[in-house]
Amino acid sequence: MNNINTFIKTNYTIMKKFILTLIFPVLLLSCENCDCPEPKSEGIIDHTEMEAQAQLMKLAFANKDVDAMLDLFTDDLTWWLPNNQVIQGKEQAKAVFEDVFSRFEIMTMDTPKNAAGDDFPPIIMGTTSEENGNWLLRWSPFYYKALNGKEVTMNFHTAIAFNEENKIRVLAAYYDRSLLINLYENEDPLKALE
């Protein structure tokens, strides 16, 4: 009986090596010219180029430079804000930026401290999918100081979609707008969007 077990184990080991070394590679190579579907390219990607655009937006935001801000966007930009408010296109974005920028002394993205006063470096991630393209996801605090002296630090969660030319085509910003509205002496500039 021991001889039979030894024979089976030896032949099984030999057959396994034979299959792995000769037949398996042939199966893999035979698929080179098949009509197999391409694997989906979805997941985490390098965010460096997209974040460079976000840094240009940060600079334009701090300098209240409407033209520099608009240069980063596609003509058909869609900017989603809290409470289902939407900015559509560069013309509407320009009007909103001019109004908002005129109300603040200081506006900064990526403030070193979050709303609770804790150190908070931005969290940044790049992602891609076949259906939705490339997105930059950012979590960072913003600081605002209004001309009336009121100030607030708010946590922003932003999803930014880019086109093939690395222009911003969609921006979705999530934050507590009530904190920002409390700084305005006049009417909320986004009321015109309703």
Residues in the chain: 194
pLDDT tens, 107-121? 999 888 766 777 878
State residue 31's pLDDT score. 47
pLDDT tens, 69-83? 999 999 999 999 887
The CATH code of the domain that includes 71 is: 3.10.450.50
- CB neighbours (10 Å) of residue 38? 6
Q: How far is residue 70's CA from residue 65's CA, in Å, rounded to a whole number?
A: 9
* Residue 173 included in any domain: yes
| DSSP codes, 83-146 | GGEEEEHHHHHHHHHHHHHTTEEEEESS-SB-TTS-B-PPEEEEEEETTTEEEEEEEEEEEEEE
The answer on 180 and 139 residing in a single domain is: yes
* Residue 170 included in any domain: yes
**Angle (CA) 134 92 47, round 5°:** 20
